[in-house]
Amino acid sequence: MVGDLSMGQPFDQSRRTARLVQMLANACNGAGEHTEIGRQVALLRWSGCTANAEGFTRLLGDDVEGRNAMLSQTLNAAGLRAMRRSTPLAQIHCEVSGDIASTLGLRSEVEHGLRNVFEQYDGAGRPSGLRHPQVPEVVYQVLLAGDLEILSRMHGLEAALQWISSHRDQRYPAALATELLQHAEDWLDQLRQPQAVASRGAAAPVSLTLVGDVIDLKLPWLAGYSRRSSELAREAARLSGLPALAVDHLGQAALIHGIGRAAVPNRIWNTPGALLEGDLEQVRLVPYWTSRACGQIPALAVSGQVAAHAYERLDGSGYFRSLNADALQTEHRLLAAALAWQALVSDRPWRPAFSHDAAACLLLEEAGQGRFDPRSCQAVIAAACGETSMTVCKPCGGLLSERETEILRRISTGGSNKEVARQLGISPSTVRTHVESVFRKLQCTTRAAATLKALTLGLI
């Protein structure tokens, strides 16, 4: 699904292609293990595309829409000329895909297919320019099935069949293409029927750290972000006293929260400063895509929903649901704080990483503005500093001045302006001015609310 989104495709494109590959493989060679090999190559053929997203951004300007145009055969003349320089990007993609297959312990035929997934019958493919019969049969099957699925969806069945027919003995063997052309309409009709998720029995589970790593490859400056966020969120959850199962779900959520990031072009992620409204709208959809993807994987039902709340804020300014504090659970608040912290202490193309002290200052000030949960921020800061218990941290830079803090401490215990003025040897009007400043900084209008916020932020 990450691969589909990165290529500008619906996130069921690879699954639809995999079903077509199985039909084609079965029609040509009957039932057998080769159909499962074809299915796995089809499902993983885009698994390396986050690794070369930055390269496609430089090549085509937009890594997501550019690759969509490449797959749908709608690249303009400039794009076609640029693609002549894409061999190094294909090499990156194939190497990463092959390594993923190896890491997952899949069969050597699957790995071999993925390492050559862009090769073609006539030698015009990439990265090695292999010719038939050096190209694995499964590569032809996946290429054919993918062309049929994408072109029929984008241009209609008749146009797709004509295009495939015109590329026989160029992209794929004529005999194999002819077999597909004979059954294409019927097979596409079968795709309209939902397919139950089949149990894979004793298949080994996939490590979510691998998924997080693949997600992070999309942006060179994001490497390791999901892993570090997961470790931080887990530790903050333990310090907060969450049960073990909730800690696990939170750690998983941090690893997969960026699934939807694949759908957003790198040019947007690399933009410093405020985004255009249209670009911001794409960013707001990141947790939506994460939610939709995880919702189709039963094992990620709980952690996926936590991940979908990664960018919500207590004051309702977050996305994609714009929820407020009443709708956000402890796990949601911890995840949001952990991700914000990890972003602050990481280098970005437009700024260096903040120090821990500066990051704590910024995070607590955001909490003071009502966007993050103060207790969750305290837990994250404590976890990041290697502490074994929660400690109260005061915002850097003095959110309140020393005099304002002293006056707030006194009025919080019930002292009137006149009483505080007498105790401190200043005029009641000066006390009133300081109180008004405190209310403004804490965004409060009553003493009770100011006292509560100051206590949660560790100001008094």
- Calpha distance 92→109 (Å, rounded): 19
pLDDT at residue 401, as a whole number: 87
What integer pLDDT is reported at residue 198 of this predicted model? 56
Q: Model's pTM, two decimal places? A: 0.83
pLDDT in tens, 93-124: 999 999 999 999 999 999 999 999 999 999 99
Q: For a pLDDT cut of 90, what percent of the chain falls above it? A: 82
For 120-175, the pLDDT digits (tens) are 999 999 999 999 999 999 999 999 999 999 999 999 999 999 999 999 999 999 99
How confident is the model at residue 398, as a pLDDT?
A: 61
Provide the β-strand partners of residue 315.
324
Percent of the chain predicted with pLDDT > 70? 95
Is the per-residue pLDDT at 353 higher than 90? Answer: yes
Domains and CATH numbers, the chain: 2-191 (1.10.3210.10), 215-384 (1.10.3210.10), 402-456 (1.10.10.10)
User: How far is it, in rounded angstroms, from Cα 50 to Cα 48?
Assistant: 6
Confidence at residue 297, expressed as pLDDT on a 0 to 100 scale: 92
In this predicted model, what pLDDT tens digit does every residue of 231-244 receive, in sequence order? 999 999 999 999 99
pLDDT at site 371: 95
Confidence band of 81 (pLDDT split at 50, 70, 90): very high
Q: What is the pLDDT of residues 429-450, one digit of tens each?
A: 999 999 999 988 888 788 877 8
189-226 pLDDT tens trace? 999 988 765 555 556 788 999 999 999 999 999 999 99
